Amino acid sequence: QVQLVESGGGSVQAGGSLRLSCAASAYIYSSYCMGWFRQAPGKEREFVSSITTNGITNYADSVKGRFTISRDNAKHTVYLQMNSLKPEDTAMYYCAARFAFCPAVAGDFAYWGQGTQVTVSS
């Protein structure tokens, strides 16, 4: 019913940048909160950022000032611009969707992409 496909991950040096993309099903995109989460080995899935249907954003404290979430409704795509990357940003990054509301808890999101790996080396 809902399909999310992430792309844009890779390996970069500390201080570098990456831009993640999440293409969403066109028929549900405009009614859904979109979020980014990440999970490193041995750690719980962590909230990174979210954006509401009308463009209100939220960020984890650890990424404020470095990451920017945006959405292009015409393209049914959500982006995560990641600047000044640090080794601790290394994780599998997942795009997620939830109807209407926009929480910061992974368990509240019903739909998930397959993930894209981000690796930051020092």
Query: What are the CA-CA distances from residue 70 to residues 43, 78, 88 (Å)?
Result: 26, 6, 22
Beta strands in the chain (DSSP E): 4-7, 10-13, 18-24, 32-39, 46-51, 57-59, 67-72, 77-82, 91-99, 111-112, 116-121
Phi-psi region of 55 (alpha: psi -120 to 50; beta: other; left: phi over 0): left
Quickly list H helices, the chain. Answer: 26-29
Name the token pair of 7.
């792309």
Structure confidence by residue, pLDDT tens digits, 33-51 = 999 999 999 999 999 999 9
State residue 1's pLDDT score.
64
State residue 25's pLDDT score.
84
Structure confidence by residue, pLDDT tens digits, 47-95 = 999 999 889 999 999 999 999 999 988 888 999 999 999 999 999 999 9
